Structure 1
């Protein structure tokens, strides 16, 4: 009965706390930007892609905000103005509210 072990913390995968620790240490910046033809975009930047699955987080944000979006590099772009809502959702996912800055 061999269990999968996390290569970072050495605990079994179901007890791994690496992602929780990584969430608390992120310095996240949420800002609004204006793109082509006056379209507004909310950009979530500063999340380390090595520690947290950006595609999974973007899918969560897009489904709860009912908007489109994409992952570009190490940032998440969401269509529309959602700065304050994104902060609330990130806090509900376990990110530290002190580390999230809304511009």
Structure 2
């Protein structure tokens, strides 16, 4: 018996809750300088209850060929990848109007 989504009541295979949630997320992307001059790209503003941050971070790390982690509700990627991250998030289903790059 297929698993049922508790939010929409549809089977998990055809559930669209996460896609709808992605379009409504207000995401902020910016870079920080860490110790020893290292750059870190930070992606924050995603709701952890609606979007799987670990899965999103994993996809971004694979596409950008960099390391990173999920800390305190935000994704931290090694290196300066602001422009590329926005394009990748749009490809993943996030709305381009809701992504702010500083």
Classify the TM-score, shorter chain: over 0.9
Deviation string, structure 1 residues 57-79 (Cα, Å, up to 9, x no partner): 11111111111100002100001
Q: Which runs of 5+ in 1 are unaligned?
A: none
Q: How many residue pairs align between the two structures?
A: 102
- 1:72 is matched with 71
Written as runs of structure 1 = structure 2, the 5 A alignment for 1:5-44 is 5-44=4-43
Unaligned segments of structure 2, at least 5 residues: none
In structure 1, the partner of 2:94 is 95
Listed one character per residue, the Cα deviations across residues 72-96 of structure 1 (whole Å, up to 9, x for unaligned) are 0210000100000000000000000
Distance 2:83 2:70 in 1: 19
Mapped partners of 1:88, 1:66: distance in 2? 15
- Structure 1 runs, 4 residues or longer, greater than 3 Å off: none
**Scaled by the length of structure 2, what TM-score is found?**
0.97
Question: CA–CA distance in 2 between the matches of 1:7 and 1:77?
Answer: 30
Q: TM-score, normalised by structure 1?
A: 0.96
| CA deviation after TM superposition for structure 1 residue 38, in Å | 1.0
Other structure's SS at 1:43 match: strand
CA shift, 1:45, in A, is 0.3
Note the aligned Cα RMSD (angstroms): 0.7
